Structure 1
């Protein structure tokens, strides 16, 4: 396993100018995320100069099998906290071969709205303002992989009453802190505009922003992708359902 670890952490910049770009997009459910990686001849700072790519949309629920090619348009680039070095995470949206946005491509219309001169002039921000959350708040729950039950809960049972878990500290109140902190640092490494993290009434939560316009969308999706990658490594399952266990969590915000 030590050789595998050495290979995973291998610094490509010691031997080659080539970099790895992980292309990320939203799948057919509108919630699931997909990605695949490609080699670039060197670093690219401007997403518009990244090559378009394609994928089989019939395997993601985004096109019929008889016409399955979907084209990825790179829209935003981030530093890759997993491969590090000059490697990249690339947020994309998806189009037909004819250049039309596919039905699950919600970013296309949002970007058009944010590009209207009147909207640009307003400079809409999303995130934390004066310590009250008016914008994007991503709540999530970490589940035990084999039983799909929240981390730290007795299997098939419930923990004690709500109250001590919100921003709680110690092993009986906060579960998966190593995962949460890893995600926080990974987002900062990637230059994602993440405001902070905290354990919720039912842990956990992170806040993205303040970001301007469509950047809030890209920051949130890539932050969610990074979290899914970290939970994959940790062997737990991520749920972004605001109430994955009915009857316990009540959103009072």
Structure 2
């Protein structure tokens, strides 16, 4: 019974009854999400329903907690709260902890390094567990508001060596290469994700233990029977804008309960920083609502779309006159390193890249104009203008944006194939196209 009650109580505690500034992420918009969940009919026993309905939080206590959460301390102190965020040992798990700073800051260089217990995150042995956090990027904190900040960090040993799970360090090296810098690489990342009902591991809006109607009406759909979790998507959108994340849009996806947000265009290492911070904010919002976020590339087996993280990419040369030929050369390089990219594009991606549901087969490389069933898609506008960008459709939703963006720049700008391999690849691609 505790499992049934816990999520609803968590949601009630995070609903705000009074009007609060945009800086507070304790919105009263969760009501529609809660109502949708309660209408699903998953609790069939009337006795259970009576128990759920009879337990109510103490309103006075709830209000006092909300007042403290929304408290503006800026008139009373110059101190701020910095939330240090890093990536855990699984490579996709976000961790964070808070510290007080004596005054507001504007640049990561003003922030102190910090440390954490790496043995508790799968990143260090117990006998030598200290891992050092290096602040790398700052965003405004939409949860605490004021001058409080979110800090994206990467992790190092006490000797200053990047730990194995620190993928940002390698990406930063690639993006600092003069040849890469001169090409000003742009990225637009389309992050798909799935919202799951707590405890049952089943998508939001789906009947528990059963399936909704087939795909078709849900993509960018509107209506209570087609859109599940819009409040979460909208709250996330506004929170990202408040934080300073370069979020460019959102939409409901093909599978019901699945959504997407886009980040970009972002230059170089900034793309990874912004995507990771956006993921963190989304995790915090779903935590408040009592909904589970998953980045699994194929959360539901069968005739349902998986979840990807399509990565749009261009260089200065691609965006200038004659850029289409530069794009073709980049695609040729990508074809020669297909296995290298696939191995770095997310765990479980083989369950998604089947050649169905708008994907190419994981075992072969292909490209085409306006073809969403290819590894690399080139837009009609790019073909018509003779310049523009390419879309790598292979990355899974759980990919590391530092790895993917860095690898794209490395393969297309720094790596040179042999003449024999280049000629053979060109012949194969020509035959497929």
Q: TM-score, normalised by structure 1?
A: 0.95
* TM-superposed deviation, 1:249: 2.3
Q: Which residue matches 1:207? A: 262
Q: Secondary structure at the match of 2:74?
A: helix
Match of 1:196 in 2: 249
1:55-70 residue pairs with structure 2 within 5 A? 55-70=116-131
Q: Is 1:73 matched up with 2:126?
A: no
Structure 1, residues 47-98: CA drift from partner, whole Å, max 9, x if none? 0121000000000000011100000000000000000000000000000011
Of 281, 284, 287, the residue aligned with 1:226 is 281
Corresponding residue SS for 2:180: helix
Tell me the equivalent position of 1:52.
113
- Matched residue, 2:223: 170
Q: Do structure 1's residue 92 and structure 2's residue 147 form an aligned pair?
A: no
TM-score, normalised relative to structure 2: 0.56
Question: Displacement of 1:227 after TM fit?
Answer: 0.1
Matched residues in 1 for 2:241 and 2:187: separation? 18
1:242 offset after TM fit, Å? 2.3
How many Å apart are 1:243 and its aligned residue? 1.4
Question: How many angstroms apart in 2 are the aligned matches of 1:220 and 1:234?
Answer: 21
Pairing 1:65-144 to 2, within 5 Å after superposition = 65-127=126-188, 136-144=189-197
Shift of 1:158: 1.1
**Pairs within 5 Å for 1:6-21:** 6-21=67-82
Q: Secondary structure at the match of 1:228?
A: helix
Question: Which of structures 1 and 2 has the larger relative contact order (alpha carbons within 8 angstroms, sep 6+)?
Answer: 1
Uncovered stretches (5+) of structure 2, i.e. residues with no partner: 1-61, 306-356, 359-371, 373-433
Matched residues, number? 245
Residue aligned with 1:217, SS: helix
Within 2, Cα distance between the matches of 1:60 and 1:156? 33
Counterpart of 1:139 in 2: which secondary structure? strand
C-alpha deviation, 1:230, in angstroms: 0.0
**In structure 2, distance between residues paired with 1:37 and 1:74:** 13
1:245 corresponding residue in structure 2: 300
Q: Structure 2: how far apart are the matches of 1:77 and 1:150?
A: 33
Instruction: State the partner residue of 2:33.
Output: none
Please state whether the residue corresponding to 1:195 is helix, strand or coil: strand
* Structure 2: distance between partners of 1:212 and 1:145: 37
Residue 145 (1) aligns with residue 198 (2): yes
Q: CA deviation at 1:248?
A: 3.6
Residue 66 (structure 2) aligns with: 5
Residue 51 of structure 1 aligns to a residue whose secondary structure is coil
Q: Alignment partner of 1:71: what SS? A: strand
Q: 164-173 vs 242-251, which deviates more?
A: 242-251
> After TM superposition, which residue ranges in structure 1, 4 or more long, deviate above 2 angstroms?
248-251
The 2-side partners of 1:188 and 1:44 are apart by 19
- TM-align CA RMSD: 0.7
The residue aligned with 1:154 is: 207
Change (3 A) 1:158 1:18: same
